[in-house]
Structure 1
Amino acid sequence: MTAGQSDEPERINLDHMMDKARKLWDRSPQPVKSFPWNRALETFIQLILDLILAVIKYLYVPVLAVTALSEMSYCAHEKKLYLVPFPFLVGVAVAGVLRETALESSPLLKNAEVPWHLIAVAIFFMLLKLPGPYFPYWGRIFIPHFANGVLLRTLWFAFLWYRRPQKTSGTSKL
């Protein structure tokens, strides 16, 4: 079989499926055609994002606690527990800098309903922290505790974010 003909059956199947989908769409009743599919897709994506946010919100603290204890027990086993506060405090400082930078670079984040900048920082540093046991020796000691500092401060910022007074639309119900 030549190279030009190797994907012919695949292309024919795709064209055949596209024709079938077009025919199905043409035969569908008018209410199906006039349904607001784009708005339904946006609502579905928003629902999925809300579910992901709820899962992250409830798993964040237990995963942080268990992994932090595991990393501290490793440092205690290696007799390097006295080094833990230094990367932790650097991580706390870096989280503050990242938060301030995000708020200065995008003024829309100050009034946002969901703190996406904090979620992005938390996901990034959780992904940095989780492969901690596979880092070289000094990386196993410093990187996870640095990430713990960032994650704990980000958790505090998220707590403060949800405790701030919410702005209402100006109409109050009695």
Structure 2
Amino acid sequence: MNMAADQSDDPRKLSIGHIVDKARSLWDRSPQPVKSFPWNKTLENFIQLILDLVLAVIKYLSLPLFAITSISEMSYCAHERKLYLIPFPFLVGVAVAGVLRDAALESSPFLKNAEVPWHLIAVLIFFALLKYPGPYYPYWGRIFIPHFANGALLRTLWFMFLWYQKPQKTSKNNQPSSVVDNLNG
């Protein structure tokens, strides 16, 4: 047996303490411009960039995925000869999405002027998670639940469209102009 491999100074073994010590000594030996560089701000900007890229990909891929899955669910209902049932859960989903949006706006007045509609994103995620396991629901669940979620998703997507179409309030728009001040003064 090789008992020497169990020693703590074995180069084949890495320990967290050893890595931290090496990183600390590397930091101590680095030049002052590297130490004074705003690393935290750079990390925040990098994370924001990655999140923006992920949201852009999701934004452009979610609509085709929504369309394809909706057509698939309608074809299943057509195969089962239950196509006439689609409007009922769809309209209920539209109504539920409106109620959830209104409830979120009433519970937090800060959402009305927020830059990102987090309440709508949460509703989208909830109904997407409800919709996508649709083929695995029992028989009537395969007919009603995905179309209910489709109605809610479509209405929430419409709310998102309206959200980004409204004029954004910025600090520049809220400040009075000097021309108006001169006329009033």
Task: Place the TM-score, normalised by the shorter chain, in its bin.
Answer: 0.7 to 0.9
Instruction: State the partner residue of 1:78.
Output: 80
Summarize the alignment of residues 1-174 of structure 1 with structure 2, pairs less than 5 Å apart.
13-168=15-170, 169-170=172-173
- Structure 1 stretches of 5 or more lacking a match? 1-5
Counterpart-to-counterpart distance in 2, 1:48 and 1:127:
23
AA aligned to 1:27 is R
Opposite residue 124 of structure 2, the aligned amino acid is A
Show the counterpart of 2:181. none
Equivalent residue letter for 1:159: F
Q: What is the TM-score normalised by the length of structure 1? A: 0.87
What do residues 1-45 of structure 1 show as CA deviations (whole Å, max 9, x unaligned)?
xxxxx9x89x96111111111111111111111111111111112
**Percent pairwise identity:** 77
Between the aligned partners of 1:35 and 1:104, the Cα distance in structure 2 is: 44
Give RMSD over aligned pairs.
2.1
Partner Cα distance (1:48, 1:126) in 2: 22
Amino acid at match of 1:72: M
Q: Which piece of structure 1 moves more, 24-33 or 145-154?
A: 24-33
1:125-149: CA deviations, max 9, x gaps? 1122111111111111111101101
Structure 2 gaps, min length 5: 1-5, 178-185
User: Where does residue 3 of structure 1 map in the other structure?
Assistant: none
d(CA) in 2 for partners of 1:80, 1:114: 39
Name the count of aligned residue pairs.
Answer: 166
* Structure 1 segments of 4+ aligned residues over 2 angstroms from their partners: none
Query: Which residue type is aligned with residue 62 of structure 1?
Result: P
CA distance in 2, matches of 1:166, 1:28: 45
Q: Counterpart of 1:40 in 2: which secondary structure?
A: helix
CA distance in 1, matches of 2:106, 2:59: 25
